[in-house]
């Protein structure tokens, strides 16, 4: 693994929410190697703390618990919350109330940098034959996308009002390898995920930034040139997986909404009532 020089800079005291999730488990050892202290939190059980770690199990909707999480931290990598499309009542507490609690606790404890795990589902109703930039209007594709759009707006407010810097990462599809043809465009390798998160934590001036979390894939729907100021330089590509993914899906229905829109299968989900 070859990472940029910024990845070697000390990261200070970092809170990682959603530490029991797939990306949280992947980032945990990568951040621990660079952080002065890594505090890990999730509503689900977490593996016991190792050297340089603390574990605090907490629900994001528990305001008092979130305030305890932020005490003494230099920055937050906020992955916590529901990461799939669900009924609104299931999403609102963790993703909307919980994200508000994180930002308000950051304000009260003078935490000045947050890396917020947003999602490509904030813009899921753009078509797959379009190339879009982060400053284009949001077009969320469901309750989950709406909750992430709220998080981005909240981050904008807390930067404008209180100076809390945020890098909103509209994460594509982060897995060991692309799982289908759609992910040839949206794939983010774990090493590039690390590069992006570390760049977001170490760039001297993050301000309020919205970038797509994606590797250097030849086919892409997103103009990610605005990520350059962070120092993010993806080094992986979905191209080595193309032949296998296309062989597994030799034909796609051009009229299928999951093929038309960048959201993929999320446009088929719901209503839940």
Does residue 11 or residue 114 have the better pLDDT? 114
Could you tell me the pLDDT band of residue 5, with boundaries at 50, 70 and 90? Answer: very low
Catalytic option among 100, 144, 190, 212: 144
Strand pairing report for 53-55 and 75-78: unpaired
- CATH fold, domain 5-268, is Rossmann fold (3.40.50)
Residue 24: pLDDT above 70?
yes
Residue 144 catalytic? yes
Residue 9 pLDDT: 59
List, for residues 66-111, the tens digit of each pLDDT value: 999 999 999 999 999 999 999 999 999 999 999 999 999 999 999 9
Could you tell me the pLDDT band of residue 270, with boundaries at 50, 70 and 90? Answer: confident
Calculate the average pLDDT of the chain. Answer: 95
Residue 271 pLDDT: 85
List, for residues 117-170, the tens digit of each pLDDT value: 999 999 999 999 999 999 999 999 999 999 999 999 999 999 999 999 999 999
Q: Determine the Cα–Cα distance for residues 61 and 133; give it in Å rounded to an integer.
A: 32
């Amino acid at each position: 693994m070859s990472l940029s020089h910024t990845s070697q800079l000390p990261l200070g005291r970092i809170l990682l929410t959603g530490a029991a999730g797939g990306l949280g488990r992947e980032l945990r050892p990568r951040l621990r190697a660079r952080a002065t202290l890594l505090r890990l939190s999730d509503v689900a059980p977490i593996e016991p703390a190792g050297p340089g770690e603390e574990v605090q199990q907490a629900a994001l909707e528990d305001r008092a618990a979130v305030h305890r999480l932020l005490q003494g931290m230099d920055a937050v990598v906020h992955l916590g919350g529901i990461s799939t499309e669900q009924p609104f009542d299931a999403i609102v507490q963790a993703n909307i109330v919980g994200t508000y609690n994180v930002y308000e606790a950051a304000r009260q404890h003078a935490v000045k940098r947050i890396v917020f795990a947003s999602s490509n589902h904030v813009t899921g109703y753009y078509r797959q034959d379009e190339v879009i930039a982060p400053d284009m209007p949001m077009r969320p594709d469901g309750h989950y996308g709406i909750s992430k759009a709220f998080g981005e707006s909240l981050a904008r407010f807390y930067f404008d009002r209180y100076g809390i810097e945020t890098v909103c990462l509209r994460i594509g599809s982060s897995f060991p390898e692309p799982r289908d043809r759609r992910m040839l465009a949206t794939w983010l390798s774990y090493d590039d995920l690390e590069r992006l998160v570390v760049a977001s934590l170490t760039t001297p001036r993050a301000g309020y930034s919205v970038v797509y979390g994606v590797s250097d894939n030849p086919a892409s729907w997103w103009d990610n040139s605005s990520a350059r100021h962070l120092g993010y330089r993806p080094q992986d590509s979905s191209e080595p997986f193309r032949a296998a993914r296309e062989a597994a899906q030799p034909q796609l229905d051009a009229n299928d909404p999951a093929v038309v829109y960048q959201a993929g299968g999320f446009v088929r989900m719901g209503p839940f009532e």
